[in-house]
Amino acid sequence: MARNVGAGSTQGPTDEGTLASGEFPILIAGKSSATAGATKAVPTVNPDGSFNSTLIAQAVTWTDRSSTITAGGTSQQLMAANTSRKELFIQNSGAAALWINFGAGAAVQSQPSIKLEVSAAYLEEASIITTQAIQIIGPTTGQAFTAKEAT
């Protein structure tokens, strides 16, 4: 199960580890490792009834959605709904926590939105990807974030 990892740890198959200087935690939905890439999981059922997933590379086009918070404390749209979306990446490059939410509803600085601590990132790829609009909120006007969308 993916989780938003905090400073000092890294997301991986065991959810254990330590970040080196200059690294940042990544939350990945739908994968058990912290490697980002445009892949598609193809399930294979073995004769004994067990199964594997084979990752197959996909050709994608990345669109930069990076920006800043336009009005501190006010939800804004980060990405429009997109049924062609294959992958998305959002990183908090500001100095305070950011919150993201999916769908038409506003992001709020609490549950049910997803909190991204400073330098943390959120990634969805291949097997689990939302096609809904994505909203973002932060406490400070001008707070920067990096965002990419693959189609």
Dist. CA 88–CA 62, nearest whole Å: 9
Mean pLDDT of the chain: 79
Dist. CA 73–CA 51, nearest whole Å: 46
**Topology adopted by domain 26-150:** Jelly Rolls (2.60.120)
Q: Model confidence over 60-98: pLDDT tens digits?
A: 899 999 999 999 999 999 999 999 999 999 999 999 999
Dist. CA 59–CA 104, nearest whole Å: 29
What is the residue extent of each domain of the chain?
26-150
